[in-house]
Amino acid sequence: MIVVTGGAGFIGSHVVDRLVESDDIIIIDNFSSGKPVFVNKEAQLVRADLTSDDIGMYFKGADEVWHIAANPDVRVGAENPDEIYRNNVLATYRVLEAMRKAEVSRIIFTSTSTVYGEAKVIPTPEDYSCHPISIYGASKLACEALIESYCHTFEMQAWIYRFANVIGKRSTHGVIYDFIMKLRRNPDELEILGNGEQNKSYIYISDCVDAMFAGLKANERVNIFNIGSEDQVKVRRIAEIVCEELGLTPVFRFTGGERGWKGDVPVMLLDIGRLKALGWRPKYSSEEAVRMAVRDLLNE
């Protein structure tokens, strides 16, 4: 039996879809960002809040935990740091405590490229020093540290995945989602945060899930992997693709500056050599992933 926190969310629901093929699954989700329609009907659903409800009973007898629940919006940290702390750090601590008491030894955790901050080495490898510039990135790095300490203190084993921008079916936030919503409100003008030159890696959801399962071949006490594509795409180009797919020619209005928001990292590309050595590589480029994701969201 496997527990998946956040299994009704964007990434979590895709992971559950894969896991139910061979295991019994318990989803724990409070639906703060997840949706009932994303829930796989073959999984058992528990509607609970990791930060406040008694969750211990759901971990008894589990073989492993996929801890995916989090506040996924990086921008929230500058407006409400407490929300990021509670849904990321506190939630992770409570999951680890539930695992410890139930003697569950394996955890798979979804982290983020933002733990690196403004890396000077591009592509950025897993052993690069972490200096996050966002509350979100700091919270995920704190979670990583908690997990690693529990692994060494309580004989657990962890797989930690640092994601580039994951996009595709069921996404409910991010630049593509925002552009589509803005253009539906006003098809004549598109506001683009920053200068549009932000240049980052994007990975399609199926590539991301494949990578997570590939990483399980590693067998260290703590296994850390970057997951991303091998190229980048600029925000301006993403805007152009969204407009192409919508058949619109709006005026682009840039808010200015190199960052879209406080804590935004303008340039990001991850070194994925460690996962490629295990036989995985992404099927889609960043631009291919963006176009597929736009089509997904327009069809949903």
Are 294 and 226 a contacting pair, CB within 8 Å?
no
**Sign of the CA dihedral running 32, 33, 38, 43:** negative
What's the pLDDT at 80? 82
What's the pLDDT at 54? 94
Are 271 and 207 a contacting pair, CB within 8 Å?
no
Closest CA to 125 of 116, 134, 112: 116
Distance, CA of 138 to chain centre: 14
Are 28 and 70 a contacting pair, CB within 8 Å?
no
Query: Judging by DSSP bridges, how do beta strands 233-234 and 199-200 pair with one another?
Result: antiparallel
pLDDT block averages, 10 residues each, the chain of length 300: 97 98 96 94 97 95 97 71 93 98 98 97 98 96 98 98 97 93 97 96 98 98 98 98 97 93 93 98 98 96
Beta strands in the chain (DSSP E): 2-5, 25-29, 44-47, 64-67, 106-112, 157-163, 165-167, 189-192, 199-200, 202-204, 222-227, 233-234, 251-254, 267-268
d(CA 109, CA 66): 6
Are 174 and 114 a contacting pair, CB within 8 Å?
no
Query: How far is the first Cα of the chain from the last one, in angstroms, to the nearest whole number?
Result: 31
d(CA 251, CA 198): 19
- Under 8 Å CB-to-CB from 85, ≥6 apart: which residues? 135, 139
179: tokens are 């552009």
Are 28 and 69 a contacting pair, CB within 8 Å?
yes
Active site residue 204: no
226: tokens are 């970057």
d(CA 218, CA 154): 20
Q: Which of 116, 128, 136, 150 is catalytic?
A: 136
What's the pLDDT at 71? 84
Residue 288: in which H helix or E strand, if any?
helix 286-299
